[in-house]
């Protein structure tokens, strides 16, 4: 394995008594036997993975001449729970799990092969299997990294601490609120009555002001008076039509029932307009500090 993310197999082969072992480095390829089937795992193309452990010194020189390795042909001395061998160091790490860190026996194996771990890992450092966690023991490290090792996210909103730390000059926020029935009726009836009163007071003065802006001849004045009279007649007719509008006519044409039907029509139109205007109405509130 290589920290430079290259896929090479480094192995020492026993060359006999009183001789230094031979070191070989080849691109990793291995044969895996599973249910009488042979699978060739070539790191040049595939993602290869095999349980990690400590093996005896290899005496099979041919394995490196043909650039393949058969891990199952060699009796493993000590297996490391959750550790994996893969094509690169990063793939080996991400494909493994943390099972060994929950086992005192597994940690003892690592201490035996790496004595310096006795200075950094103690029995009290062994992870407790009884700890409540959403991750299982066989969750690989890649999945843990994707979840950032986080058990759960929690959100706590505290506006007082926010203002104390940030000290903003002002705060603006918005919220969406649906108007209730009584509020909607009150607002629209008030708007309708106020608008009617305001227009009744303003329109005559507005018309007089417009007419006095420029001098007019007698013919022009007569023509404008006629036009104004015609306009007032049309407005009066329109007002009469509005007040007599009845959407709930019945066969009974008694004056009392007609009056009730007209009131019902006005209330229906007011509610209809109110409903259209109150859908997803957004109130913006600005609070200065």
**pLDDT tens per residue across span 226-251:** 777 787 787 777 777 777 777 777 77
Task: Give the whole-angstrom CA distance, residue 102 versus residue 262.
Answer: 82
Does the predicted model carry a pTM greater than 0.75? Answer: no
Domain boundary among 146, 164, 191: 146
Task: Give the whole-angstrom CA distance, residue 281 versus residue 279.
Answer: 5
In a domain, 115, yes or no: yes
Q: What is the pLDDT of residue 288?
A: 40
Q: What is the pLDDT of residue 59?
A: 60
Task: Give the whole-angstrom CA distance, residue 187 versus residue 185.
Answer: 6
In a domain, 232, yes or no: yes
Residues 142 and 199 in one domain: no
**pLDDT tens per residue across span 51-77:** 888 877 666 555 554 445 566 566 778
Residues 85 and 133 in one domain: yes
How many percent of the chain have pLDDT more than 90? 2
In a domain, 98, yes or no: yes
In a domain, 84, yes or no: yes
Residues 38 and 141 in one domain: yes
Tokens at 182, concatenated: 């009584």
Where b means 16+ CB within 10 Å and e means fewer, 119-128 reads eebeeeeeee
Q: What is the pLDDT of residue 285?
A: 38
Q: What is the pLDDT of residue 284?
A: 39
Residues 17 and 119 in one domain: yes
Q: With contact defined as beta carbons under 8 Å apart, do 274 and 184 qualify?
A: yes
Number of domains in the chain: 2
Full domain range(s) for residue 47: 8-146
Segment among 69-73, 126-130, 148-152 with least mean pLDDT: 69-73
Collapse the DSSP code of 242 into the 3-class scheme (helix H, G, I; strand E, B; otherwise coil) and give the result: helix
């Amino acid at each position: 394995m290589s920290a430079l993310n290259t896929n090479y197999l480094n192995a020492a082969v026993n060359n006999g008594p009183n001789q230094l072992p031979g070191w070989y480095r080849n691109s990793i390829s291995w044969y895996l036997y599973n249910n009488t089937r042979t699978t060739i795992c070539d790191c040049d193309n595939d993602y290869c993975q095999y349980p990690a452990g400590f093996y005896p010194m290899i005496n099979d020189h041919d394995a490196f001449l043909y650039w393949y390795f058969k891990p199952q042909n060699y009796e493993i001395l000590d297996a490391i729970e959750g550790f994996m061998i893969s094509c690169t160091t990063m793939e080996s790490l991400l494909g493994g799990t943390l099972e060994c860190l929950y086992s005192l026996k597994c940690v003892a194996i690592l201490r035996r092969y790496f004595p310096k771990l006795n200075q950094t890992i103690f029995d009290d450092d062994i992870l407790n299997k009884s700890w409540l966690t959403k991750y299982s023991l066989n969750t690989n490290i890649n999945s843990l990294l994707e979840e950032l090792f986080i058990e759960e996210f929690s959100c706590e909103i505290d506006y007082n601490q926010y203002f104390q730390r940030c000290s903003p000059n002002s705060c603006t926020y918005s919220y969406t609120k649906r108007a209730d029935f009584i509020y909607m009726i009150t607002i629209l009836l008030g708007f309708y009555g106020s608008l009617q009163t305001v227009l009744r007071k303003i329109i005559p003065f507005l018309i007089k002001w417009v007419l006095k802006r420029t001098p007019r001849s007698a013919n022009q004045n007569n023509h404008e008076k006629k036009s104004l009279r015609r306009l007032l007649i049309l407005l009066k007719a329109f007002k009469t039509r509005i007040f007599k509008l009845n959407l709930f006519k019945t066969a009974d044409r008694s004056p009392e029932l007609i009056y009730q039907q007209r009131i019902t029509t006005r209330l229906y139109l007011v509610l209809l307009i109110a409903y259209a205007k109150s859908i997803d109405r957004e109130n913006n509130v600005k609070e200065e500090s």
